[in-house]
Structure 1
Amino acid sequence: MTAPIAGAAGIDRVMQLRAQILERNEALQRASASGPAAAPAATAPTSFADTLNTALKQVNEGQQQASALSESYERGENVDIAKVMLARQQASVGFEATLQVRNKLLSAYKDIMSMPV
């Protein structure tokens, strides 16, 4: 029973991401058409910490959904194995990307700390 809910939530999430991409694309096109002076007003500023926090939450949600699908499949519920494998792969890619960003941030921090004053 949880498989259709998780599948529907995944589809809803993909549709939301698609809508966000289309919205940002339209905003970029409007900014390009109006010139460089209108570009700062087209987007609301967000802090780096907020952006990073949002990305980490999305990666966590992806891992939780993959775990839930895997558990449903292991319990013998009617879950498509392709959905399980796709969710696990998406969670893995998200985690690897997050790990690489963390490594780059640590490297940049070390470089900054080793700079002479």
Structure 2
Amino acid sequence: MNISNRPDISQLLMNMRDLRQQVQTPGQSPAVLDVKDRLTMPGTGGVEATPGFSQMFSQAINSVNELQQNAGQLSSAYAQGDQSVDLADVMIASEKSKVAFQATIQVRNKVVEAYQDIMNMPI
């Protein structure tokens, strides 16, 4: 059986070709494309992924930012001699922000790698 004759695969390949053509259209950047159009898959009854990747990634970035700000505030308070701030709390907050930042970097690297793999796929 030829895989390209299956209706679901054929539809997916057509959608990928359409998206690629839209991205390659001169004068239109990929950011202009509607996110809902990219998330809605045919054959799913118009059900889209909720929440979207961009929303989840934005929330993750914001929480990493909050962790880094908290670690910076605790570090500054400890350096200024605030008796209510314990060194262990400063170190824990610092390590939490470091781990969260490293995880974010790894996710970004994987997303870029996946994007490059998709763009290098033959159509």
TM-score per shorter chain, which class? 0.5 to 0.7
Whole-angstrom CA distance in 2 between matches of 1:51 and 1:115: 26
Aligned match of 1:97: 103
Aligned match of 1:88: 94
Percent identical among aligned pairs is 47
> Normalized per residue, which structure has more helix?
1
- TM (norm. structure 2) is 0.58
Write the mapping of 1:1-117 to structure 2, written as runs, cut at 5 A. Answer: 45-78=50-83, 79-117=85-123
1:70-117 Cα shifts (integer Å, max 9, x gaps): 011111111100000000000001001101100100100111111122
Whole-angstrom CA distance in 2 between matches of 1:100 and 1:46: 21
- Structure number with larger C-alpha Rg: 2
1:32-53 Cα shifts (integer Å, max 9, x gaps): xxxxxxxxxxxx9211111111
The letter of the residue matching 2:116 is K
Structure 2 spans left out of the alignment, 5+ residues? 1-48
Highest RCO, 1 vs 2 (Cα 8 Å, sep ≥ 6): 1
Range with greater deviation from structure 2 (82-91 or 72-81): 72-81
The letter of the residue matching 1:94 is A
The letter of the residue matching 1:64 is Q
1:45 is paired with a residue whose SS is coil
The letter of the residue matching 2:81 is G
